[in-house]
Chain A
């Protein structure tokens, strides 16, 4: 159709007085637009690039160290996957996820979530989305869904990059679980995928927190900085022994429980606690974000 024909069609539509009823799937159109917009931002791509680079660096470091002749010593912190990398490249996936989960991954989520509403407010595009009218609840849900999609993509980027580097630099094969039993490569890959999903789910809480912060201000930068600041603060407080009474309520407290998926049989208690805690954060901060956003004066 040419523009002129489109205009004629428009007029015809208007003449019939036909207002299109929104189909049940129109929210998906908005979600698609939101995903496209988010993943076409230079900032998003830069964050994903950094995340993809982490496993490369770890892999090269381990390779160089072992080529020196000395065997890679088991690190004291976190699950001791790193010592196994030289035997099986699949362990680079676990190591990379364990290395990025405490800071790189949630920081990336904090940036995307913090910017979600506040960034649109500061650029003024929020007011045009709302008069379109996107609907405040729908827009917020779309934003949250997009941040969650980013959690998944970011985690998978780390995992896939780690798998590629691991397969390239080290042998792949049967692997030994933390419990000492041996499992085949196929099951190892399945567990790696499961772990990636659990790691992505561990970020649900930060995502909700970031989105809430994002509704509080009209400055994208301020929202990002606040979210990342909160993240660092919580991570530090989680290390202070005197605070052990409140630590189980920190969103990051059970993050490293994903390692329990490498036990045989799998130890579920902390995994479930982690997922429950993430759900609680999503409900609490999601509601807070909704209450704030639906009542907010859009003056930017």
Chain B
């Protein structure tokens, strides 16, 4: 939201984006302890096979999901409202039982191995939930007390560190019911960060945050990822995913449409042609004559779907017709373009 559209290059050449494949040492070290005892899942942190959930009302919320989340990735889980993102996350966290199929998290089956897996997973599921009559700090103390693997001797220190990390130190003593939406969201994130985690599952983490808060979350996610934590991030905000994720999966109506590296997802789609010119009407006429579809004129920018073939020929035609061209090129395809191309539809709620 509010971010500029993706005319600038996307993955993987963002300067502030740590290059995850360059840190195999760290990932390997973390994976090694359980390698022997668990079934081979490669370097994947989450693996689901045929994961299906039909709610008691008969609603098929997730339908035969085969998801693979590579270790060390920032994985965007993308889909419109009601597409089954939260349902999938609830199954991964052992909160609901799959109707059929399997889910492995950190190499262990869920919900069976919940006690071994979940202490190493931090989660924010469908927004934060807090005890309104307790202070922010006491909320975290309570959640930490519920974790059997958390050391009670370091509890207060870890709580203080988590509060500090989400910028809530000043409001730590305030009752949680007096928190704003964004403060609650931050406290929920702090609960997920109480201990070092191997996996963070964040269901729409920027919900309710101001632009500054959103930026902070993105920075936090990158920071955690550079420490080797895998981040699984659900969202229906395409540019949010585009900005922080290395990988993504696209859901629609409970089915997985595609998954892979973000760059690959967008690469399947061709970007639109963009011409910047002081003579936009003329340019539009010429482009239409040469077979460019869906021509849109916006001030000095003319965009359209170029026909097959060399697009430089279009530029020659423009110049030959006396159109003054300031800029000419193909826009980098955005994830939204990719999504539309994948689903053949817009980003709307399915009934």
How near does chain A come to B234, taking the closest CB pair, in angstroms? 15
- Where chain A touches its partner, the secondary structure class is helix
B7 interfacial contact with A, CB 8 Å: no
Which residue of B94, B126, B227 contacts A130 across the interface (Cβ within 8 Å)?
B94
Identify 21 residue pairs between A and B in the complex whose beta-carbon atoms are under 8 Å apart, listed by A's number.
A3-B165, A21-B149, A26-B148, A29-B152, A30-B146, A123-B130, A127-B93, A128-B123, A131-B93, A131-B95, A131-B125, A132-B119, A132-B144, A133-B114, A133-B115, A134-B146, A134-B147, A135-B148, A138-B148, A139-B146, A298-B96
Is there contact, CB below 8 Å, between B118 and A10? Answer: no
Sorted nearest first, the 3 A-B pairs with minimum C-beta distance are: A124-B129, A132-B146, A33-B145
Is there contact, CB below 8 Å, between B131 and A125? Answer: yes
Which residue of B134, B147, B152, B169 contacts A132 across the interface (Cβ within 8 Å)?
B147
Is there contact, CB below 8 Å, between A133 and B148? Answer: yes
- State A299–B89 Cα separation when bound (angstroms): 11
A182 interfacial contact with B, CB 8 Å: no
How near does chain A come to B204, taking the closest CB pair, in angstroms? 14
Chain B residues within 8 Å of chain A by Cβ, number: 52
Is there contact, CB below 8 Å, between B97 and A128? Answer: no
- State A29–B155 Cα separation when bound (angstroms): 11
B163 surroundings in chain A (CB, below 8 A): 3
A40 surroundings in chain B (CB, below 8 A): 133-134
- State A36–B141 Cα separation when bound (angstroms): 11
- State A221–B90 Cα separation when bound (angstroms): 25
- State A40–B142 Cα separation when bound (angstroms): 13
Within 8 A of A (CB), among B115-160: 115, 118-121, 123, 125-127, 129-134, 141-152, 154, 157-158, 160
A292 interfacial contact with B, CB 8 Å: no
How near does chain B come to A82, taking the closest CB pair, in angstroms? 39
Chain A residues within 8 Å of chain B by Cβ, number: 44
Which residue of A33, A42, A131 contacts B118 across the interface (Cβ within 8 Å)?
A131
Chain A interface residues toward B at CB < 8 A: 1, 3-7, 9-11, 13-14, 17, 19-22, 26, 29-30, 32-33, 36-37, 40-42, 123-125, 127-135, 138-139, 295, 297-299
- Further contacts, 14 of them, CB under 8 A, given A11-B227, A124-B127: A3-B161, A4-B161, A9-B157, A13-B196, A17-B30, A26-B152, A30-B145, A123-B131, A127-B93, A130-B95, A131-B118, A133-B118, A298-B90, A298-B95
